[in-house]
Amino acid sequence: MKILITENQLDYIKKFEPYKRSFFKFWDKIGPKIDNDFLNFFGFKNGILRVDDMTISTSNLYVLLREWHGEKNAINKALEFLNQDKFTIDNCGGYNFNFYVETVEVETIHNIIQTNGTIVVRTIPDLENGTVDLIMVGGETMNLKDAVENEEYGWEIQNEISECIDDFLKDNITNTFGVIVLKR
């Protein structure tokens, strides 16, 4: 199979390849992770590295991280991680709770995973046993269920719980395996 590319595309590939090799060497030595240390080491600003007329974003890095792992291996490792019984959020802005992954969805054709590097999950926070430190309301520690049911600020608590879960999934899956996790 032949693939035709333009001269501009070839130039971009030639400029990009040394960065790709550098990222792979970093992951070989330090481990697969896109975190602040990685981004600072390579000079990313606000998730973007600009070099001459080339831009590398964190989205590009996720594709490369999946390539480094091997696409199928990255997805399988992410699915294995999501297969745990429960996950613990500890001190995410004063929130402490467990959550569970109720469903995991990946597209399959003939039982073979077909993905663009994305997994969709449905998560359930354990509100009964979780707590939140209400800094803006006198600093008291409150049960999450009670806080969510509060008419004045319960909606904000729900949003922050969701953000904590998003951050957890990004830190532990997307930034480690390059697999994007979306919540339903």
pLDDT band at 65 (very low <50, low <70, confident <90, very high): very high
Q: Is the pLDDT of residue 110 over 50?
A: no
Range of the domain at 127: 73-183
47 and 109 together in one domain: no
Decide which of 69, 84, 118 is a domain's last residue.
69
93 and 126 together in one domain: yes
18 domain residue, yes or no: yes
User: Which tokens hold the place of 34?
Assistant: 């896109």
Q: Would the pTM of this model clear 0.85, i.e. be above it? A: yes
Task: Name the residue among 36, 41, 10 with its Cα closest to residue 23.
Answer: 41
Under 8 Å between Cβ of 119 and 82: yes
Average pLDDT, the chain: 90
173 and 96 together in one domain: yes
- pLDDT of the residue at 114: 53
- pLDDT of the residue at 149: 96
56 and 77 together in one domain: no
99 and 25 together in one domain: no
